[in-house]
Amino acid sequence: MAGEGMRGFLPPFKHFATSAIHAGQEPEQWRSGAVVPPISLSTTFKQRAPGEHAGYEYSRSGNPTRDCLEKAVAALDGAKYCLAYSSGLGALLNICHLLKTGDTVICMDDVYGGTNRYFKRIASENNLKVIFVDCTKPKCLEDAITPETKLVWLETPTNPTLKVIDIRACADVVHRYPGVLLAVDNSFMSSYFQRPLSLGADICVTSATKYINGHSDVLMGLVSVNRDDLYERLKFLQYSLGAVPSPFDCFLCNRGLKTLHIRMKLHFQNGLAVAKFLESHPHVEKVIYPGLPSHPQYEVMQKQCTGCPGMVTFYVKGNIKNASAFLKNLKVFTLAESLGGYESLAEHPAIMTHASVPEEERRALGITDTLIRLSVGLEDEEDLLADLDQALRAAFA
């Protein structure tokens, strides 16, 4: 039924599907009246007179196809502005260029391996101080803030252990300190299930490679903001650093947006079914899924989200041999990195996505040799459950 929410969660954001299909897509902006925004591959644009252009000069500073995507994403994020980048890490790099030498970044302790690697091996070696804090406890975040703190980086749910952070509680803490920005990586949720800006974040970051595009064929990052000054600074950096996506990728991502609301509902349905199935399986030690009452931050999830994605993490019983055997025996799930596409994926974080995180830190975070991360796709539920069951049984045969 239209407008009906998932039990216990926030109601769906109003007009989401209509905005996904129509925002920024007006046919009147094209001389041809094209209903589907065309791919504008030109890198340069004719000027009427020197310095007198029709809104576009050079494709790095602005492109018609990219503009359509940015306007649509801004509408879905509940934002005034959106900027697109060539990858999620490209977006992170641009945000960190808002900082200066000697500034401190507070980062959630459990984050995407690429984020961890950037902060520890690049940003920290280039005159930024980065400290990692468990931000599921706002008091720990507040205790870590100093006069040098200029950016707090959250990820919720976290990758890969799916901790959930109370965004509003953290925003209340951060905004007691003037000049500190709060950025939230929303990649695991998408704007369909969570809007960080409405919860007090200054910056919403999304790897569009994941759920937003949803087809595992585009590499892209997105940044949404409401503040005019923040947008102007980030727009300048986007142009000056040059990490912009191609018009073709923008076209594909814009197309993916049109079915986001449909896909996310099925990701939630299948993800919840998989989580419940694994929770009762004899070869599974523990299941972590924010949509289950057993999750420690289940109530936080319900308070700030309209539903849950298809990300399920679990610990298989036994050891690394059993975990590897399980992954090798999967037939419907594909052993591969990344997430958020229509296809179901499985991976071993300690060996794959989080291999760059030092072993001691991995263990402290719970990223052990028996931890498995699933990105549950859009296949038939019965086939997904049957595949998991046969692979688990084969791993212990």
- DSSP string for 50-82: TTB-SS-SBTTT--HHHHHHHHHHHHHHT-SEE
Is 393 one of the annotated active-site residues of the chain?
Answer: no
CA-based torsion, 307, 312, 313, 316: positive or negative: positive
Out of 67, 166, 185, 387, the active site residue is 185
Given 112, 211, 289, 315, the catalytic residue: 112
Give a three-class secondary structure readout of 312-377.
EEEEECCCHHHHHHHHHHCCCCEECCCCCCCCCEEECCCCCCCCCCCHHHHHHHCCCCCEEEEECC
Active-site residue among 60, 117, 129, 276?
A: 60
Active site includes 265?
A: no
CA 187/CA 245 separation, integer angstroms: 17
- The sheet carrying 284-288 orders its strands as 284-288, 311-316, 371-375, 345-347, 334-335
| 154 close to 109: Cβ distance less than 8 angstroms | no
Residue holding tokens 């984050």?
Answer: 111
Give yes or no: 210 in active site.
yes
Point out the catalytic residue in the list 66, 150, 163, 210.
210
Catalytic residue at 369?
no
Torsion, CA 261, CA 265, CA 271, CA 275, rounded to 10 = 140
Enzyme catalytic residues: 60, 112, 185, 210
